[in-house]
Amino acid sequence: MFIDEVKVYARAGKGGAGAVHFRREKYVPEGGPDGGDGGKGGSVILIADTGKRTLLDFQYKKDLIAKQGGNGGKNRKDGGSGDDLVFKVPIGTQVINPETKEILVDLDYHEKSFSLATGGQGGKGNYFFKSATNRVPEYAQPGKPGTEGEFILSLKLLADVGLLGLPNAGKSTFLSSVTTAKPKIASYPFTTLDPNLGVVKQKNFSFVIADIPGLIPGAHKGKGLGINFLKHLERNSILLHLIDPYALDETGELKDPLKSFNEINNELNEFSEKLSSKTQIICFTKADLNVDTENNTVKEAMSVLKKEGFQVFEISSVSRKNIDTLLDYIGKLLT
């Protein structure tokens, strides 16, 4: 199960209390104070890790509570520190204040860490307060409470290239053709229910591709599945827009490829202007099939898109027509 957003409560451990104790030994009639300090409370810490792909762990554990520090003891013995509660999260996890929506941190590289809650300091024992004017202090400090709060953990996948298009545009087939990823492939809408990542190794370079579930008109308002995954595309340097030239409209006729193109880009623009301004490469899929030579709609659409400044390819993930040319071009853009 792919989980990319959860709300959690984190509470760090309270610091241990300092001890009030006086030395009591045979032949030492006036033993002085020897109460030790309390230990520091445990913190709640997140660490980005390349081995993690989802926030699923937090779906079942939303209260993150660290242990408190140990109390001080006699003979100037300090209390032990509470164990930190450490959780590994996927690279690309953001920590957000649920009230202000402020992004507190972006865990965008391996082993980057952040403390959701910081353990409280331990209190000082009465030995600490011994002085020339106060030889027998009979007091010590209590431990300080740790910090606590609610947080939203939101994952945005890190990938160089994001695949987008209407359902059944051929995104999963393309991903399985150029990487070792094994997404589910079938000829019905919304085959891809979760994002898939794959690594392309082409000649002397490599890059990561993310396959995002297909978008439909109204996705930015919550229609279909796309609203949950549009945010992942914001991380991508390049958007690879796949268009199925054999897609049918609601009347059963061949759909104008430009209409498919505009539907997707309208959703990107409504969701984020930043997203709509990203570099797009347009790919007309299924080039291995026999296109009706009397239908010039595809050629016209390609001509229009090229005039608008887009790089356009005709590809086939099955026969690998123009796949290497496309990957070489992507590699040049990324290097």
Q: What is the pLDDT of residues 165-215, one digit of tens each?
A: 887 777 888 888 888 655 444 344 444 445 677 788 888 888 888 887 656
Residue 74 has phi, psi (to 5 degrees) of -75, 175
pLDDT interval class at 218 (50, 70, 90) = very low
Q: What is the pLDDT of residue 222?
A: 45
Residue 165 confidence (pLDDT): 82
What's this model's pTM, rounded to 2 decimal places? 0.68
Two tokens, residue 299: 């050629």
Q: Are strands 311-314 and 63-65 parallel, antiparallel or unpaired?
A: unpaired
pLDDT tens across 69-85, in order?
999 999 999 999 999 99
Q: Among positive and negative, which fits the CA dihedral 195, 288, 199, 334?
A: negative
How far lies 202's CA from each of 157, 285, 322, in Å?
Answer: 22, 20, 13
Q: Computed from CA positions of residues 53, 57, 62, 66, in that sequence, does the dihedral angle turn out positive or negative?
A: negative
**pLDDT recorded at residue 298:** 81
Residue percentage of the chain with pLDDT more than 90:
43
Structure tokens at 42: 């445990």
β-strand pairing of 85-90 with 44-49: parallel
Confidence of residue 267 (pLDDT cuts 50, 70, 90): confident
Q: Which of 146, 141, 160, 206 is nearest to 13 (CA)?
A: 146
C-alpha span between 226 and 216 (Å, rounded): 7
Helix, strand counts (H, E) of the chain: 6, 14
CA distance 177 to 298: 23
**Beta bridge pairs of residue 152:** 7, 96
